[in-house]
Amino acid sequence: MFNKFWKNILWYLIIILYCCFTLFNSTVVYGWGQLTHTIIGMETQTGPGYNNVPDYWKSWELSPFPEISPYFLWSHECKVTNGRRSKPEYNKNIPDKINYYAMDDSPSRYFDILKGKMKGVAVSIPKLISGWKAHNAADQAVHYELFPFPGDIIPPQMHEIYEDAADMLVYVKELFNGVADDAFDSNGDPIGFPLQSSPSIECGDDFTDAFLLLSEKEFRKKQATLDIREGNMWGLKVQQLSEIAELRHKMESKLLNELFVFDNINIVFEFNRSGYDYVIDEYTSQGRPLEYWFKYYKDAIKAVNDIPKP
């Protein structure tokens, strides 16, 4: 009886430890946060809200253990190279696939094909395509350098910290010319966007929801795979139209909270003046001064501006 009890306890501990290990090492792909993607969309005129569409989908899911979400791979135009919990590779790292929009089975390629087949499209469709390409160009300019892959050299939770730090630094530098006294009020709270540059949080409409659904169907019809290894088929299950619409509403709600209320969750610091000062001091001491971050930010802007015009 006693031995059986402790055997059960041991099994429970093994299961808990395994779950913690897989969660800690789960494949998560981070890039710029919603705030920075919005500012990039404003600066490059590719649509602040539409720049956030690829982040509709969570980066990982439980099935039953943590693994990368196929929808996130699809929406970020990258593929796994060694199984569903392996490090995703971006097309720029694949020989002869230097630009993500040059890949034959990338969503943005399907976007262009589908749009070309239509006799007429709603004005929101070109905005969706432009924002989608901009998001991925900006992300791929920094993976996996500014934001290393979880588990490569830093713990996974550091990604969210880096992402939050980047959001705060870009907020002050780009919206307030780097003057923190202008970016935060006397209580240290963020002022928010200047009135003349208040962004739209619109991510799409019924037409873009339908267009994304058609794109998922096209990806599946072509038997495109999310696993780059030859002979390893990992397709995409087509969602319901109502699911995509719900994802859009959730993103718009998230943008409303993050961009206007600044109600985002930070692990180490709050989005306020003291948090900003902490970020400056902490990362300067680590060899990541402002110039370090903004080299990558400018690389991201250049990557977006270099996207071939339709």
Per-residue pLDDT tens over the stretch 86-114: 556 555 443 333 333 334 567 777 788 88
Residue 218 pLDDT: 86
Q: What's the pTM?
A: 0.83
**Domain layout of the chain by residue ranges:** 2-305
Helix axes 206-221, 124-140, angle to 10 degrees: 60
pLDDT 10s digits, 6-41: 655 655 565 454 444 444 444 444 578 899 999 999
Q: Which residue has the higher pLDDT, 53 or 161?
A: 53
Confidence of residue 242 (pLDDT cuts 50, 70, 90): very high
Greater model confidence, 281 or 227:
281
Instruction: Give residue 188's pLDDT.
Output: 93
Q: Provide the pLDDT for residue 8.
A: 55
Please determine, for residue 83, whether its predicted confidence score (pLDDT) is greater than 70: no
Local confidence band at 64 (pLDDT 50, 70, 90 cut-offs): low
Q: Given a cut of 60, is residue 195 above it in pLDDT?
A: yes
Percentage of residues of the chain with pLDDT beyond 70:
74
pLDDT mean across residues, the chain: 79
C-alpha to C-alpha distance for 141 and 124, rounded to whole angstroms: 26
